[in-house]
Amino acid sequence: MELTIENILLVGSLLLFISIIAGKTSYKFGVPTLLLFLAIGMLAGSDGIGGIAFNNPELAQFIGIVSLNFILFSGGLDTNWNAVKPIWKEGAALSTVGVLLTATSLGTFVFFISDFTLMESMLVGAIVSSTDAAAVFSILRSKNIALKTNLRPTLELESGSNDPMAYVLTITFLSLVVNQNQSILGVLPSFFLQMILGAALGYGFGRLSKWIINKIELGFEGLYPVLVITLMFITFSATDAVGGNGFLAIYICAVYLGNQDIIHKKTILKMYDGLAWLMQIVLFLTLGLLVFPSQVVPYFGIGLLIALFLIFVARPIGVFISLAPFKMQMARRFYISWVGLRGAVPIVFATYPLLAGIEKANIIFNIVFFISVTSVLVQGTTLSVVANWLKVIQPDGEKTINETEQFIAELPKNTLTEITIPENSEAVNKRIVELHFPVNAIIAMIKRDDSFITPKGATVLNAKDTLVILAESQEDLLNVKNCLK
């Protein structure tokens, strides 16, 4: 079947519908959604029952980059800095030194068991050096696994921040394969420049984005998520244009925004959560369509060897060495090394050699695809078993409450009071988002004259407004009163 303007919406919507239903099924059986989305794409492709002809690495790469923008930005917005702050050094070590060690150790192994050159082998290692957060946590949720303190934030931070490092390594080793006369020392300045510019511009764009979101008056709540999407793409493309790492920039920008007071934050977060799921499905389906299973089968043997070495040797080397300076129980180190699922990102990165036109690009792509699938099958289906075996689950982990119960449990509920804003208060003529309310306190309602107003971040407070405050404790209530002086 050829995709045309007339049928692409029908085919695409049917594939999305099937993927959503399959994703629901995966929670019941503990199968990672990633694997199901890829399988659906493969079944719909040229070698499958759908017979959809799709062999366009350039389009697949474009879809991959756009999708990764949304996935990384959404992950950054959901990152609670207070939760990751105690373990940010461990997370940073895993996402930088850990990725580098994983890439080089695996590359060395590939060099000795294949006919790849050293730089081609290192390229394979770089492509599969990052982990997939979506695959990891879809399994953790499906099995109701409640990990012990700081273990989950560590995994979240690593999974959300290690893609930029893998990307830089991939581009670096690819340039060494294409330009064989170039030395490793010659690309080091570019390597560090990308990371430094990415981090600096990500933080800078984060501060600028907060100012724009809170200062601009759009009039319609629905336009604010659109504004954030625009700022996200500006951050990525502008950083990339000056030689920085765009993926790192948007992640840091999103982490900053996610931990600031911005207008219509809940609306933005919900929108990004839905878009991140959509982009994951679209990305996995596209990569599934791009793969020809008949071309993957011949590399079953070498692919299996590389995948097993990655799982049982390269990943543990990266984890244990990078975490060596930190105090951590051995069981937690082992579990972090096991939670090293490879997902869609390595497959996206594998399209770069295809577009560069290197001799063994097709072989690399098929091997990388096989490694990703094997990793999901072996590690993804055993996360709960290994967690129980290593005893890294909380004692009441089997009774993990659902999201609704968690929301209710976290609502501030101990102190309810009314506060009238005096005429000389600094809060007069300020928007709620500018007050920096305590985290454990909310304005439930505003009484203004004879009317009641539902508060929003952009709501401007007037003198003599009566605020209905819901707070967690007397201390939080005191902080609220200080905000309204």
Residue 468: give its domain's CATH number: 3.30.70.1450
Q: In this model, does residue 147 exceed pLDDT 90?
A: no
Residue 216 resides in a domain = yes
pLDDT interval class at 196 (50, 70, 90): very high
Using alpha carbons, list the distances in angstroms from residue 67 to 256, 279, 289, 474.
Answer: 20, 5, 16, 45
How far is the C-alpha of 155 from the C-alpha of 332, rounded, in Å?
Answer: 11
* Predicted local confidence at residue 26, as pLDDT: 56
Q: In this model, does residue 309 exceed pLDDT 90?
A: yes
Report, as an integer, the average pLDDT of 379-384: 81
Residue 64 resides in a domain = yes
Strand order in the sheet with 451-453: 415-420, 466-471, 441-448, 451-453
* Predicted local confidence at residue 1, as pLDDT: 62
Rounded to the nearest 10°, the torsion over CA 243, 98, 60, 138 is -130
Q: In this model, does residue 400 exceed pLDDT 70?
A: no
Q: In this model, does residue 325 exceed pLDDT 50?
A: yes
* Predicted local confidence at residue 343, as pLDDT: 77
Quick one: 390 and 311 in the same domain? Answer: yes
How far is the C-alpha of 375 from the C-alpha of 338, rounded, in Å?
Answer: 10
Quick one: 59 and 87 in the same domain? Answer: yes
How far is the C-alpha of 334 from the C-alpha of 340, rounded, in Å?
Answer: 11
Quick one: 352 and 422 in the same domain? Answer: no
What average pLDDT does the structure give for the chain? Answer: 84
If DSSP states are collapsed to H, E and C, what string results for 2-47? CCCCCCHHHHHHHHHHHHHHHHHHHHHHCCCHHHHHHHHHHHHCCC
Quick one: 364 and 424 in the same domain? Answer: no
pLDDT tens-digit profile of 64-107?
Answer: 899 889 988 988 898 888 888 888 899 899 999 999 999 999 99
The residue from 354, 380, 399 where one domain ends is 399
Quick one: 205 and 239 in the same domain? Answer: yes
Spatial CB neighbours of 163, under 8 Å, sequence gap ≥ 6: 68, 72, 130, 247, 251, 345
How far is the C-alpha of 343 from the C-alpha of 286, rounded, in Å?
Answer: 13
Residue 2 resides in a domain = no
Longest dimension (CA), the chain: 81
pTM of the entire structure? 0.78
Placement of tokens 């330009």 in the chain: 179
Token couple for 309: 């070495």
Dihedrals φ, ψ of 459, to 5°? -65, 130
- CA–CA–CA angle 125, 128, 130 (5° rounding): 115
Q: Classify burial at 112, counting beta carbons within 10 Å of its beta carbon; exposed 0-12, middle 13-18, buried 19 or more.
A: exposed
CA 360 to chain centroid, in Å, comes to: 30
Residue 405 resides in a domain = no
Quick one: 356 and 434 in the same domain? Answer: no
The residue from 337, 370, 399 where one domain ends is 399
The tally of CA atoms less than 13 A away on the side-chain side of residue 277 is 14
Quick one: 179 and 198 in the same domain? Answer: yes
* Predicted local confidence at residue 134, as pLDDT: 62
Residue 215's CATH number: 1.20.1530.20
Residue 193 resides in a domain = yes
Residue span of the structural domain in which 307 resides: 8-399
pLDDT interval class at 398 (50, 70, 90): very low
Quick one: 350 and 417 in the same domain? Answer: no
Q: In this model, does residue 46 exceed pLDDT 80?
A: no
Quick one: 375 and 475 in the same domain? Answer: no
* Predicted local confidence at residue 406, as pLDDT: 45
Residue 404 resides in a domain = no
- CA–CA–CA angle 300, 301, 306 (5° rounding): 95
Q: Which helix (H) or strand (E) holds 471?
A: strand 466-471
Quick one: 359 and 461 in the same domain? Answer: no
Among candidates 198, 91, 89, 72, which has minimal Cα distance to 133? 72
Q: 323 versus 384: which is more confidently predicted?
A: 323
Identify whether the C-beta of residue 101 lies closer than 8 Å to the C-beta of residue 321: yes
The residue from 399, 422, 444 where one domain ends is 399
Quick one: 225 and 340 in the same domain? Answer: yes
Q: How many domains does the chain divide into?
A: 2
pLDDT tens-digit profile of 216-243?
Answer: 888 788 899 999 999 999 999 999 999 9
Quick one: 393 and 477 in the same domain? Answer: no
How far is the C-alpha of 40 from the C-alpha of 65, rounded, in Å?
Answer: 21
Report, as an integer, the average pLDDT of 397-410: 43
Using alpha carbons, list the distances in angstroms from residue 286 to 43, 61, 229, 350, 394.
Answer: 12, 9, 22, 14, 38
* Predicted local confidence at residue 395, as pLDDT: 64
Q: In this model, does residue 410 exceed pLDDT 50?
A: no
* Predicted local confidence at residue 278, as pLDDT: 87
Q: In this model, does residue 112 exceed pLDDT 80?
A: yes
Q: 372 versus 320: which is more confidently predicted?
A: 320
Q: 56 versus 309: which is more confidently predicted?
A: 309
Residue 256 resides in a domain = yes
Residue 89 resides in a domain = yes
If DSSP states are collapsed to H, E and C, what string results for 318-341? HHHHHCCCCCCCHHHHHHHHHCCC
Report, as an integer, the average pLDDT of 161-176: 90
* Predicted local confidence at residue 211, as pLDDT: 94
The secondary structure of residue 461, as a DSSP letter, is: P
pLDDT interval class at 25 (50, 70, 90): low
